[in-house]
């Protein structure tokens, strides 16, 4: 089992939420220790603790040392018992604290420590003890007073709820750690798939599918056949067409691109084949067509699936005979052009449906290249992301930035419908948004990428349901007891609980804790009906 990455937990919503509850209901702080009892994630800043005494104590080397020994001793004791956690007095401070082990697959990985509170009473004797201990550490009178003011007495019912919540923290750490480990395993598996070549001309990628693509491109270097490139939007079809041209014997001749969907038929025809002066309004002089310009070179016909049936006939003739007729001319011209065509459409299906000529399809599809979508080669994501980040930094003339591990994980979880182009745009965007930052945090990514990650998590559903139930039960109990104790004095109770009176009234209604209902003898009516 790999080591726990404690820093991760600072960012986890559920854990933040649980910490917040422990702090606002009972002024208890939560810290983590590793499997040797060493405090984790203590940044030395006292401000992060609800109880200033906690921050003060943990700032002392001796206290950290003592906590480690205390935790290890407690864990030994727990091993001998059936208990899942321990509530004990931490003698060095005089406080009671809770120690909740984190067990992963029977391995002890660390603890959640909840501190401080009083278990039996907050009697003057115990208060005095804490006062003495904190003073011995050199705490100021002010810190001591605040620390004591924030140390609550947890009666049995409070303690039950409290332990439930701290146990949830420990459980959540386990779930998350397993999830992170699984994810790391997956990434390691993916990395095993990486080949040795990481680039081909301007194409980047180390994945198996990219290796096969490079091998295929190598193989067809000397061929002069027509190539049909098939792939979703933004997968790199144009890059591949260029690589084909610049690695062929035609590399010193023209590489001409025409998007076949961009024009109406007449314009397209005149673009491709040229026209004679006066052949139509606006044709003030002869114009060479792209086929002539591409003579001896390569012609890249992009979006070939979007051409009309009439245009398909004309293209077929060029492919078959190498001949065409400029608009307004009667004279045929002959050219030597290699055709590379690309589309994101399924031409075979179009042939079956009668929207694409079968003879043209077979003429084009001599060599077929299928470009895999990015979601089928996620192992290329880190390399591509890094490449686009650096490129964007150069363009924007700023210091380099890198992705944090967590941001990269979000990218792994995302499906990239827009493929490599979408990744490129995202990286350009984050470089702009990064400002002075040199590390890209997940929060800087587009919301759609963050959502994808959240949905992929098991954590959400499993713990959220449980957490919600536990919290509602706790809230209901605390309000019910509080109402009895204060004699239904809602203003007083609201103040005690640290919520508004209106908020309390809403909760009283939600839980059906209205005086009339709750004091009615059992069996005389339902909880909700009045
Ligand atoms: N393997 C890759 N390595 C580096 N950059 C890539 C790669 N694949 C695509 N790109 C980049 O992604 C963008 C889109 O690539 P390209 O235009 O070749 O895709 P396309 O398949 O022709 O897209 P469309 O179907 O939208 O026309 C370009 O900026 C290109 O440089
Ligand atoms: Mg394209």
Give the CATH number of the domain where residue 334 resides: 3.40.50.300
- In angstroms, how far is CA 335 from the centroid of its own chain? 52
Distance CA 48, CA 64 (A): 17
Q: Which residues form the pocket of ligand 1, taking CB atoms under 6 Å from any ligand atom?
A: 203-205, 231, 233-239, 344, 420-421, 424
Query: Is 54 part of a structural domain of the chain?
Result: yes
Q: Residues 241, 229: contact at Cβ < 8 Å?
A: yes
Q: How far is the CA of 306 from the centre of ligand 2 (A)?
A: 13
The SS3 call for residue 165 is: helix
Integer angstrom CA distances of residue 139 from 127, 134, 148, 302: 15, 6, 12, 75
pLDDT of residue 48: 80
Task: Find where tokens 């056949």 sit.
Answer: 225
366 C-alpha to ligand 1 centroid (Å): 23
Are 113 and 164 part of one and the same domain?
yes
Q: Are 62 and 69 in contact (CB under 8 A)?
A: no
Take atom 9 of ligand 1 and give the residue whose Cα is closest.
236
Give the DSSP letter of residue 327.
B
At residue 1, the pLDDT reads 63
Q: Which atom of ligand 1 is nearest to the CA of 205?
A: 1
H helix runs in 414-489, sequence order: 419-433, 447-456, 459-485
Q: What is the pLDDT of residue 519?
A: 58
Residues 6+ apart with CB under 8 A from 320: 363
Q: Which of 421, 427, 428 to mutate to test the pocket of ligand 1 (most atoms within 8 A of CB)?
A: 421
Q: Where are the beta strands (DSSP E) in 388-443?
A: 402-403, 439-440
CA of 380 to the centre of ligand 1 (A): 14
Pair 38, 142 in one domain: yes
3-state secondary structure of 497: helix
Alpha-carbon gap, residue 103 to 459, rounded angstroms: 17
The reply to whether 191 falls in a domain is no
Say if 452 falls within a structural domain. no
Residues of the chain with pLDDT under 50: 458-462, 522-530
Distance between CA atoms of residues 94 and 123, nearest Å = 12
Q: How high is the pLDDT of residue 336? A: 95
Residues 52 and 94 both lie in one domain = yes
Task: Count the domains in the chain.
Answer: 4
Cα 233 to ligand 1 centroid, rounded to whole Å: 8
pLDDT score at 459: 46
DSSP state of 367: E
Whether residue 352 sits in one domain with residue 212: yes
**How remote is the CA of residue 454 from the centroid of ligand 2, in Å?**
32
Q: Are 413 and 442 in contact (CB under 8 A)?
A: no
At 12 the three-state DSSP class reads coil
Dist CA 268 CA 261 (whole Å): 9
Q: Are 337 and 293 in contact (CB under 8 A)?
A: no
The answer to whether residues 422 and 484 belong to one domain is: no
Provide the 10 A C-beta neighbour count for residue 401. Answer: 19
Contact 206, 199 (CB under 8 A): no
Phi and psi for 229 in degrees, rounded to 5? -105, 125
Looking at the CA of residue 240, tell me the nearest atom of ligand 1. Answer: 18
- Whole-number pLDDT of residue 525: 44
pLDDT value of position 405: 86
The boundaries of the domain holding residue 386 are 377-445
Residues 412 and 514 in one domain: no
């Amino acid at each position: 089992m790999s080591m726990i990455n404690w820093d991760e937990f600072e960012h986890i919503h559920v854990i933040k939420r649980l910490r917040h509850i422990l702090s606002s209901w009972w002024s208890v702080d939560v810290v983590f220790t590793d499997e040797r009892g060493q405090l984790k994630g203590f940044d030395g800043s006292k401000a992060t603790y609800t109880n200033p005494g906690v921050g003060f104590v943990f700032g002392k080397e001796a206290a950290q040392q003592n906590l480690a020994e205390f935790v290890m001793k407690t864990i030994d004791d727990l091993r001998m018992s059936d208990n899942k956690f321990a509530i004990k007095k931490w003698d060095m401070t005089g406080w009671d604290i809770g120690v909740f082990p984190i067990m992963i697959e029977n391995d002890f990985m660390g603890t959640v420590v909840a501190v401080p509170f009083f278990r039996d009473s907050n009697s003057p004797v115990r208060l005095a003890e804490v006062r003495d201990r904190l003073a011995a550490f050199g705490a100021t009178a002010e810190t001591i007073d605040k620390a004591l003011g924030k140390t609550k007495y947890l009666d049995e019912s409070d303690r039950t709820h409290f332990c439930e919540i701290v146990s949830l923290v420990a459980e959540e750490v386990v779930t998350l750690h397993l999830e992170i480990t699984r994810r790391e395993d997956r990434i390691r598996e993916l990395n095993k798939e990486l080949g040795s070549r990481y680039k081909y001309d301007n194409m980047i990628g180390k994945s198996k599918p990219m290796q096969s693509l490079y091998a295929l491109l190598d193989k067809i270097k000397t061929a002069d056949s027509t190539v049909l490139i098939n792939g979703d939007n933004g997968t790199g079809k144009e890059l591949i067409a260029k690589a084909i041209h610049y690695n062929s014997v035609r590399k010193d001749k023209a590489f001409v691109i025409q998007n076949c969907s961009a024009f109406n038929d007449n314009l397209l025809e005149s673009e491709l084949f040229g026209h004679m002066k006066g052949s139509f309004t606006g044709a003030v002089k002869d114009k060479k067509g792209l086929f002539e310009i591409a003579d001896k070179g390569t012609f890249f016909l992009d979006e070939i699936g979007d051409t009309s049936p009439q245009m398909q006939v004309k293209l077929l003739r060029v492919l078959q005979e190498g001949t065409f007729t400029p608009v307004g001319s009667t004279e045929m011209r002959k050219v030597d052009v290699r055709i590379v065509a690309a589309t994101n459409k399924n031409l075979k299906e179009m042939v079956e449906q009668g929207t694409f000529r079968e003879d043209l399809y077979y003429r084009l599809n001599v060599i077929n290249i299928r470009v895999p979508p990015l979601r089928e080669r996620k192992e290329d994501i880190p390399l591509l992301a890094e490449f686009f980040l650096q490129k964007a930094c150069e363009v924007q003339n700023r210091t380099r930035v890198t992705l944090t591990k967590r941001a990269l994980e979000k990218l792994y979880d995302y499906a990239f419908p827009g493929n490599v182009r979408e990744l490129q745009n995202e990286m350009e965007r984050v470089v702009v948004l990064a400002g002075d930052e040199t590390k890209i945090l997940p929060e800087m990514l587009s919301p759609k990428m963050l959502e994808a990650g959240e949905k992929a998590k098991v954590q959400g559903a499993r713990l959220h349901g449980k957490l919600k139930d536990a919290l509602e039960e706790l809230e209901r109990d605390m309000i019910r007891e509080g109402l009895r104790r204060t004699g239904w004095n809602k203003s007083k109770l609201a103040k005690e609980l640290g919520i508004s009176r209106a908020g309390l009234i809403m909760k009283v209604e939600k839980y059906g804790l209205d005086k009339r209902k709750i004091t009615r003898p059992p069996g005389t009516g339902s909880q909700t009906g009045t």
